[in-house]
Structure 1
């Protein structure tokens, strides 16, 4: 069962993936590992003499786009940026349930496939939820964790997210591109966040991908408390999906070795300020 609407849509989506990857201006190597759920594709890039870092991208998005958004990591870390299975990219088109711990088991298999006993991990949005599931399933495989605007800690799907569907429906009916921007603004809040790469990714997702609405469900407190690895959690003050006021208090309660930080004034889609970039790099290098 394809995760794309059409075969030509798949080709266009992968074309954008490659184009965005090329913008990194950094050498990239394709790595494939086998997991119990299917073959998984990983981009190996960044500073090959730096500390290894396994990176999980957001949902209905790609690892290529995610690397563009968090390219500041490339200077210091040996990046393994994984295509989440069942999402746009070059991994097998096998959809896992966001409600159980399959994503955690899959991520654990990826670490084994890469030949690591343990590794530092970085997850954004849906990818933060995948990482949270991994922390529950295989805490011994995690050196450190950074979760940015993560699902899986304390998800909120308020009525306001339903409003987002109105411009999305208008776009689907008319294909007028201003409605893409209107839809994305519910998550970004500020127009300057919506650069060309972001709008290209959002348009590609709406046009060619069978959108997944289910986010990784909230993790079990008892399972999470087994993960003693240092963990940095950043959540957006105005995030309509995973607001800081919900995410950070539960993260403090259920994650033993935590550092929490609110991204002031930020929605779900954001541009990290330099201060927060430095905080992430310093945390991972400690």
Structure 2
């Protein structure tokens, strides 16, 4: 077993609160789903199988410190066309093993590769955002033959901004830990959201639950090597936010175009890391994956 075997939650009560929110969000999908568990050398991995069971198979990775349940609410535009396998990232809130992997090497990519194999696919299309897109980028490096198509949305792991860009979030985070006042959590999220309109009830509730009850993973997946990324010949769509403080388009798009062999890039104009895709942008993603 690779990784450190210790709880990722602050308490058993906290774990139950996170899983209770998880179940409530999952129920709101109002469509059939199955709970799958696959074994990997890193630990058991939980997957929600849902969507159109006759549709194109699509493996989906969520953002850091979030869950598949929340992610499926955000990605509900994919449910009609795709046979979704939504993965609970190992070592993050959810029902996968509480094994923390390093974001600074290719462990996450190796884990995801094993997930694909143990779902009985030789290759599969993938959609991932933020931290999850960093996982997908690492998978494209270590197991390029297993990627049918890839959509990387506001992705980590391509060309991350310097850590100093996140400093604005630290003071309000500390103040939230001290006071537990909602205004400080909102101020912590604002640099990623840019406008309050992008902080909806679901994202606020999910972030609050993780910050209150889980041991937050601050480190994002590190940038992959360009020479490794070139190994992946799958058609890839990269969507990056113009005002993203973590993975800005001005850094991500040029490096993606340079190192991803078959790459289409899209600038999410005047929006940050947390954003709302337009109807036409959602359709673009659907059309790309079909």
- Once residues 95 and 46 of structure 2 are traced to their aligned partners in structure 1, the CA distance between those partners, rounded to angstroms, is 6
Number of the residue aligned with 2:133: 128
Q: 1:282 aligns with which of 266, 277, 287?
A: 287
Number of the residue aligned with 2:200: 195
- Once residues 131 and 20 of structure 2 are traced to their aligned partners in structure 1, the CA distance between those partners, rounded to angstroms, is 23
Aligned to 1:4, the other structure's residue is in SS state coil
- Once residues 208 and 283 of structure 1 are traced to their aligned partners in structure 2, the CA distance between those partners, rounded to angstroms, is 37
Are the aligned partners of 1:157 and 1:240 in contact in 2 as well (CA < 8 Å)? Answer: no
- Once residues 29 and 210 of structure 2 are traced to their aligned partners in structure 1, the CA distance between those partners, rounded to angstroms, is 21
Are the aligned partners of 2:165 and 2:246 in contact in 1 as well (CA < 8 Å)? Answer: no
- Once residues 19 and 179 of structure 1 are traced to their aligned partners in structure 2, the CA distance between those partners, rounded to angstroms, is 25
- Once residues 164 and 223 of structure 2 are traced to their aligned partners in structure 1, the CA distance between those partners, rounded to angstroms, is 19
1:159 offset after TM fit, Å? 3.0
Structure 2: which 5+ runs fail to align? 1-5
- Once residues 133 and 162 of structure 2 are traced to their aligned partners in structure 1, the CA distance between those partners, rounded to angstroms, is 17
- Once residues 153 and 31 of structure 2 are traced to their aligned partners in structure 1, the CA distance between those partners, rounded to angstroms, is 23
Number of the residue aligned with 2:85: 80
- Once residues 84 and 189 of structure 2 are traced to their aligned partners in structure 1, the CA distance between those partners, rounded to angstroms, is 28
Listed as ranges, the matches of 1:1-286 within 5 Å are: 1-285=6-290
- Once residues 158 and 101 of structure 1 are traced to their aligned partners in structure 2, the CA distance between those partners, rounded to angstroms, is 20
Aligned residues: 285
- Once residues 153 and 163 of structure 1 are traced to their aligned partners in structure 2, the CA distance between those partners, rounded to angstroms, is 22
Are the aligned partners of 1:104 and 1:136 in contact in 2 as well (CA < 8 Å)? Answer: yes
Q: TM-score, normalised by structure 1?
A: 0.98
- Once residues 182 and 23 of structure 2 are traced to their aligned partners in structure 1, the CA distance between those partners, rounded to angstroms, is 23
- Once residues 187 and 13 of structure 1 are traced to their aligned partners in structure 2, the CA distance between those partners, rounded to angstroms, is 22
Superimposed CA distance per residue, residues 49-98 of structure 1 (whole angstroms, 9 cap, x where no aligned partner): 10000000000111111111111000100000000000000000000111
1:158 offset after TM fit, Å? 5.0
Aligned Cα RMSD in Å? 0.8
Q: TM-score, normalised by structure 2?
A: 0.97
- Once residues 41 and 159 of structure 1 are traced to their aligned partners in structure 2, the CA distance between those partners, rounded to angstroms, is 34
Structure 1: which 5+ runs fail to align? none
- Once residues 243 and 58 of structure 2 are traced to their aligned partners in structure 1, the CA distance between those partners, rounded to angstroms, is 28
- Once residues 121 and 166 of structure 2 are traced to their aligned partners in structure 1, the CA distance between those partners, rounded to angstroms, is 39
